Chain A
Amino acid sequence: MNPFDYHRAEDAAGAAALVADNPAAAFLAGGTNLVDRMKLGVTAPDTLVDITHLPMDEVEELPEGGLRIGANVRNSEAAAHPLVRTRYPVLSQALLSGASGQLRNAATTGGNLLQRTRCVYFQDLSTPCNKREPGSGCSALEGYQRYHAVFGASPDCVATHPSDMAVALAALDAQAVVQDAAAERRIPVSRLHRLPGEAPERDTVLAHGDLITAVELPAMPMAARARYRKIRDRASFAFALVSAAAAMELAEDGTVADARIALGGVAHKPWRARLAEEALIGAAATGHDFAAAAEAELAEARPLPGNTFKLPLVRAAITTTLGEVADGVRGRGAGPDQGEGER
């Protein structure tokens, strides 16, 4: 590991200025991903600005009924917070499905959003990777593709964003509150991360030195019955192969009035399944309609030879999660192992 200076930040704007002024500086929050990358040599900052002592560790109600989760709120605290559990249980589920108890106690809301891909080639200095070393090539194109993208990838990068939390936030229309040295602005979480295009080294639209200070969730009545489902290689402590967050509101006549669907493990960013959402509006909310919504989204899928298996997983994640949400909305208990057909 390269030597580095360690600073404890005193205020958000000052921390942002300190990092903005030094291209080799980085913010340190929980460190669960950054410290690991430093050990691997993937990231080699000469200065760490520790932001964990800044007053960004509260969960607060917003005047219009939403919720503001400070960037330093630990993943375990956010998942357990009573207002998150009752108003946005899909966010608790997503958080609890990620990492381990120890890691969730350290990892923060802001850090979770800004964690980097676990693509094996990105994390291995001995292999080419355009994200780690622009222009060096993408080893995954002819390599291990199990955890790689099926939506929105480019010839330069097929990595996926590993966060579960961000998938729920994208479905919930959450916004990231961002502080730079001079001002504060808001960016929808669904537009915070980029598709790789020709610049896979850039994960997000943030500039160097931009500090996420909070995430804001809008009031969303249907979020109370939204659900998260994660498909992975082990029952616990594994990244998603595919995951889905879904919310749905039914009209008086039982048709779908509104829907939110986001997918994880399938793209360089949490993937809002807008084609599936559009296909659902006005539909009768049957298993057939959920399958049709999944097909609408899958029309855009471009799997790699090593991850075509993800397409049926996307279909299953969308239909099963929507079925569970529909049962909840209709007031029927949704058993964890119910089928995905007509109900």
Chain B
Amino acid sequence: MEADITLTVDGRPRALRVDTRTTLLDALREHLDNTAPKKGCDHGQCGSCTVLLSGRRVVSCLILAAAADGAEVTTAAGLGDEAAPHPLQQAFVEHDGLQCGYCTPGQVCSAAGVLDEAAAGWPSAATPPDDLAEGSAPVLTDAEIRERMSGNLCRCGAYAGIVAAVGDAARAHAPAESGGNR
């Protein structure tokens, strides 16, 4: 059973026909030749397939392509390229936030989601309960970054560099007028 769908992938509208069983990850990789998102566990546990779906980070292996019909998808390839890398991609390079690189596109997309979520004031499990209840805006400390990035595994163990990279990008990303957010 098939479905005709349209996706806007990294800014480009794409029309395709998929078996309804096709995940967004397989649609991107196998139908649209966008191999930035990687297939790791294929069960939502490793985060290597992370993309931004309508601006929110999700694991594309658990989203059916048919259910994403009409949506805007941003992969790591759409965040930036070698000539003009996204600040997060640049920070990953500068902090050695990778070794083999397989999880990196997912890490970078997830981190992009983390920055947007923090800018929107979203709390995390690392946010102190009283700050949570008072509605204070979060500050991306290392503890906050570790918690918010826990959906992305790195088997090379480049976590120290990843936390440093996300922290650098977060400080550059924070709106200047916020005065430190607190």
Given the complex, which residues of B lie within 8 Å of A225, measured CB to CB? 133
With beta carbons under 8 angstroms apart, the residue of B19, B43, B130, B151 that contacts A102 is B151
Give B1-45 as 1s and 0s: 1 = Cβ < 8 Å from A's Cβ atoms. 101000000000000000111010000000000000000001110
Q: How far is the CA of A334 from the CA of B127 in the complex (A)?
A: 14
A15 → B minimal CB distance (Å)? 14
* A76 pairs with B125, CB closer than 8 A: no
A207-225 vs B, Cβ < 8 Å mask (1 yes, 0 no): 0000000000000000011
A63 within 8 A of B: no
A62 to chain B, nearest CB (A): 20
- Give the total of A residues in contact with B, Cβ under 8 Å: 45
Are A102 and B67 interface neighbours, CB within 8 A?
no
Could you say which residues of chain B place their CB within 8 Å of the CB of A31?
Answer: 62-64, 67
Q: Mark A82-102, 1 if CB is under 8 A from B, else 0.
A: 100110010011001101111
Q: Scoring B residues 107 to 119 as 1 if CB is less than 8 Å from chain A, else 0, what string do you get? A: 0001001100100
What mask results when residues 85 to 110 of chain B are scored 1 for a CB within 8 Å of chain A, else 0? Answer: 00000000000000000000000001
Task: Select the residue from A4, A40, A74 with max chain B CB neighbours within 10 A.
Answer: A4
Tell me whether B157 is interfacial, beta carbon within 8 Å. Answer: no
Q: Which residue of B lies closest to A74 (CB)?
A: B56
Q: Kindly provide the distance from the CB of B148 to the nearest chain A CB, expressed in whole angstroms.
A: 6
A6-B66, A31-B63, A89-B129 are contacts. A102–B134 as well, Cβ < 8 Å? no
Instruction: Tell me whether B133 and A85 are in contact (CB under 8 A).
Output: yes
Residues of A within 8 A of B117 (CB): 76, 80, 101
Q: CA of A223 to CA of B3 in the docked complex: distance in angstroms?
A: 46
Interface membership of A252, Cβ < 8 A = no
Query: Which residues 127-179 of B have a CB within 8 angstroms of A?
Result: 127-130, 132-135, 146-152
When C-beta atoms are compared, the residue in chain A nearest to B50 turns out to be: A102
**Would you list which residues of chain A between 18 and 75 have a CB under 8 Å from chain B?**
28, 31-32, 35-36, 38-40, 48, 50, 52, 74
19 intermolecular pairs with C-beta atoms under 8 Å apart:
A4-B1, A6-B20, A6-B66, A6-B67, A31-B64, A32-B44, A32-B59, A36-B62, A39-B42, A74-B56, A80-B120, A86-B134, A93-B125, A96-B123, A100-B47, A100-B59, A102-B57, A235-B146, A336-B128
Measuring CB to CB, which residues of chain B are less than 8 angstroms from any residue of chain A? 1, 3, 19-21, 23, 42-44, 47, 50, 56-59, 62-64, 66-67, 110, 113-114, 117, 120-125, 127-130, 132-135, 146-152
Query: Closest 7 CB pairs between A and B?
Result: A100-B151, A236-B150, A89-B133, A80-B122, A237-B150, A96-B125, A105-B56
